Amino acid sequence: MPIDKERSRGILQKTCDEKTVPGTLGSNDRRHEEMAGSKQGGMLAQLRSLEARMEAKVGIESEAIVRKRAQDKKHVPWTEELTMALLWASGTMNTSCFATGFLGWQFGLSLKQAILITIFASILGGMVTGYCATFGAATGLRQMSVGRYSFGWWPSKLVALLNCIQQMGWAAVSCITGGLALTAVSDGHVSLIVGIVVLAVVALAISFIGLDAILVYERYAWVVFLVIFLIILGETGKYADNSTGASLSGATLSGAVLSLIAVVYGSSAAWCTTASDYYVHYRADVSRAKVFLMTSFGVAMPTSIGMLAGCVVASTLNNKPAWRETYERDGLGYLMQDVLYPRGFAKFLLALLVLSGINTNVISIYSASLSFQQLARPLALVPRFIWTLVSFACILALAVGGREQLNAYLQNFLSLLGYWCTSYGIILLEEHYVFRKGRFENYDLEGWNDAARLPLGIGAAVAFGLGVVAWCMGMNQTWFAGPVARTIGDGGGDVANELTFVVTALGYLPARYLELRVVGR
């Protein structure tokens, strides 16, 4: 909604009167913090004081969700701007993407079909993430805070909760696949549970420090895993099943294609709810086109590389009965050890590949901790490092509980990620270009943490609710198939994302318009 000049001057004057110190909470938030601290017997005040001391001595990031203003930002050289792409390369080029590549083979699709779908859906999902990333530098706000200008104060709490669940679930998937590889490396001497714990603990250490440590680590970690996946492709490519077509046809083939698109798209689009978390330190005048392109392809290309390696290895199971038996009997880690040679080299590569799960977990733990802080004002007063520990504990519980049914877990969980991320992305897009006229001057950025200065979120709540109905109508999961999905072929076809896009886009425009007419913000 455009903001007139008089209102803008009033906001500026109010901000100056409050004498907000750059990089700190505003006076309203500070008063709230002091009252909450006194109610808690000073415990929160002591924890925040501890966080501030750790930031001063060892660089532990504090007050992470506070808006980063222009005076808080430094010039970022172009070499470091490459992190816009390299960050996601490290986070996506991992064993969980490799495991997702097996789903095309499991759906009965040919290698050629699986490869084309993987590339297309990865780019499509990456574009959703790339668009959301453009808000970080321009606003100085984390992704969940950006969502407040569309979803409002209260509905945005639900979005933050969903993001907490999503990030912890994504990290759990990485722990499981990395743990399987570690078990294979040790010839079964290290249990899957121990492997999960090892991956989670290392990721916790990096996320605990904060954004600076994450950007440095993720900038370089991807190189090792790119080399490994290229070696996997080189050693297994000659056994790939390229000669035969898919065993499916007609509507059943269409259903399998749609279901695989949903999974791959979901794995790339899922980053959209965290993207701007890692861009708040860039100057507001950084090119949005650069941010969009580098993020979109920074997500899509490495995701495709990991998944394509999985597609190729899965296709070899048609020609190599011994490998198929190993996969079905012992799991993914032992299969990777069998397909690579010589054996000592295979163990070495697997040992390195185990570390790929850390990359995803680092991003997920950090963003989950930020989302926890935005669930309620009192929770925002709890230091980020506490929420980092909470996220770590939840990830361990999810990973240990879901370790037995890996592929079913992947298929169902990643598809669900894409559904609500589609609603989130289209609501942000329509709010920005239709109601804010594509201009950040029309955002009351100083009011990011003030419920009275944000939309109520009625329009977004209505559109999001309609999107949920669309998910249920079009989703095709092992535990539930919607009425529309069941009509596509013998096994059904997942059209939840397509329905969600249309329903949310059409529902948000009139609902938000009425909200503006009645409420005025």
pLDDT tens string 155-167: 999 999 999 988 8
- Cβ count near 466 (within 10 Å): 19
Percent of the chain with pLDDT over 70: 89
- Interatomic CA distance for residues 122 and 302, integer angstroms: 9
Angle at 178 between CA 107 and CA 343, to 5 degrees: 90
**Would you list the domain boundaries of the chain?**
63-405
Residue 411 pLDDT greater than 60, yes or no: no
pLDDT at 38 over 50: no
Helix extents (H) in 186-287: 192-209, 211-236, 250-269
Which is nearest to 407 in space by CA: 204, 148, 145, 103? 103
CA distance linking residue 380 with residue 371, whole number of Å: 9
What is the residue whose two structure tokens read 């680590």?
Answer: 217
Query: Is the pLDDT assigned to residue 12 strictly greater than 80?
Result: no
The residues that bridge with 369 in the sheet, in sequence order, are none
What is the Cα Rg of the chain in Å? 23
Query: Has domain 63-405 been given CATH number 1.10.4160.10?
Result: yes
Contact yes or no for 117/101 (Cβ under 8 A): no
**Is residue 505 very low, low, confident or very high in pLDDT (cuts 50, 70, 90)?**
very high
CA-wise closest residue to 208 among 390, 353, 394: 390
Structure tokens at 291: 């941010």
Q: Compare 123 and 403 and report the one with higher pLDDT.
A: 123
What is the predicted pLDDT for the residue at 245? 62
- pLDDT for position 513: 96
**Lookup result for tokens 């409002």:** 152
356 Cβ contact list (under 8 Å, min separation 6): 93, 94, 95, 174, 178, 225
For residue 30, name the pLDDT band (cuts at 50, 70, 90): very low
Return d(Cα 70, Cα 64) in angstroms, integer.
16
Q: What is the pLDDT of residues 445-501, one digit of tens each?
A: 999 999 999 999 999 999 999 999 999 999 988 778 999 999 999 989 999 999 999
* Three-state SS at 467: helix
Close Cβ partners of 144 (under 8 Å, ≥ 6 residues apart): 65, 156, 159, 160, 163, 273, 370, 371, 374
Judged against a pLDDT cut of 50, whether residue 24 lies above it is answered with no
Q: What is the mean pLDDT of the chain?
A: 86
What's the mean pLDDT in 372-395?
A: 91
